[in-house]
Structure 1
Amino acid sequence: MKQLLVFVLFAALFCWLMFSPVYKHVLLIRQAILQQEVDYLLEVGASGRYGYIDDAMIDESRNRLSQRGFQPSLLQYEVDSTTGADPRTPAAPLPRGVGIKLAIRYPYESLLDIDRLIGIEPPAAGDTISAAGLKMSEYVP
C-alpha cells in the first residue's frame, strides 16, 4: 500500500515537473503577444495621422490576436485618455500632448490548473492577464 501511495505521489509530482514549465512558457508568450499588440495599437493610434483608437482598429487587433490563438470574444479592450476626452472618436482626434491609455485583458483559461497537483491554487476563473501602455498623441490639426 505504501508503494502505491508513493507511486501516485511521485507520478503527480513528475507530471507537474514535466508540464508546468510548458504552461508557464505559454503564459509568458501570451503576455508578450498582448504587450506587443498594445504597443502597436498605441504607436498607430497616437501617430500624427490618427490621434485616436477607434472600433475598427480594435476589430483589426482582435483579428490579429485570433490568428495567434486568442479567442476574440474573450479579449477586453479599455481605451482612455489622460484628460478624460474620448480617444475612440475619429471625428475628434486627441491633440498633440494628450496621452492615450490602452489596456488589453484576457482570461487565463484554466492554463495553470496543473499546479493543483502540488497544492498551488490556480488563478480564479475571472482573473485575467493584461498588458497596458500609455503614449502621447502626436496628432496636429
Structure 2
Amino acid sequence: MKQLLVFVLFASLFCWLMFSPIYKHVLVIRQALLQQEADYLLEIGASGRYGYIDGDMVAESRDRLARYGFNAPMLEYAVTSTTGAEGDNASAPLPRGTGIQLRITYPYDNLLNIDRLIGLEPPSGDARIGGGGMKMSEYVP
C-alpha cells in the first residue's frame, strides 16, 4: 500500500515536471502578445493622426489576437484618459499632452490547473492576465 502511494505521488510529480513548463511558456507568450498589442494600439492611437483608440481599432486588434489563438469575445479592452475624457471617441480626439491609457485582459482559461498535482491552487476563474500602458497623445487639431 505504501509503495502504491509513493508511485501515485511520484507519477503526479513527474507529470507536473514534464508538462508544467509548457503551460507556463504558453502563459508567458500570451501575456507578451497582450502587451505587444497594447503597445501597438497605443502607438497608433496616440499618434498625431488619431488621438483616440476607437471600436474599429479594437476590432482589428481582436482579429490580430485571434490569429494567435485567443478567443476574441473573451478579450476585454479598457480605454481611458488622464483627464477623464473618452479615449475612444473618434469625433473628439484627445489633444496633445493628454494621456491615453489602455488595458487588454484575457482569462487564464484553466491554463494552470496542472499545478493542482503538486498542491498549488490555480488562479480563480475570474482572474485575468493582461497588458497595458499609457502614452501621451500627439494629436494637434
> Matches of residues 69-84 of structure 1 in structure 2 within 5 Å?
69-84=69-84
Q: Residue deviations 1:17-60, cap 9 Å, x none?
A: 11111111110000000000000000000000000000000000
- Structure 2 match to 1:44: 44
Letter matched to residue 54 of structure 1: D
Structure 1 residue 57 corresponds to structure 2 residue 57? yes
Alignment TM-score, normalising by the size of structure 1: 0.99
- Structure 2 match to 1:8: 8
Q: CA deviation at 1:5?
A: 1.1
SS at match of 2:97: coil
5+ residue gaps, structure 1: none
Letter matched to residue 75 of structure 1: L
- Structure 1 match to 2:24: 24
Q: CA deviation at 1:69?
A: 0.5
Quote the sequence identity (%): 69
- Structure 2 match to 1:133: 133
Q: CA deviation at 1:130?
A: 1.1
- Structure 2 match to 1:88: 88
Alignment TM-score, normalising by the size of structure 2: 0.99
Count of equivalent residues: 141
Letter matched to residue 95 of structure 2: P
CA distance, structure 2, for counterparts of residue 138 and residue 94 of structure 1: 8
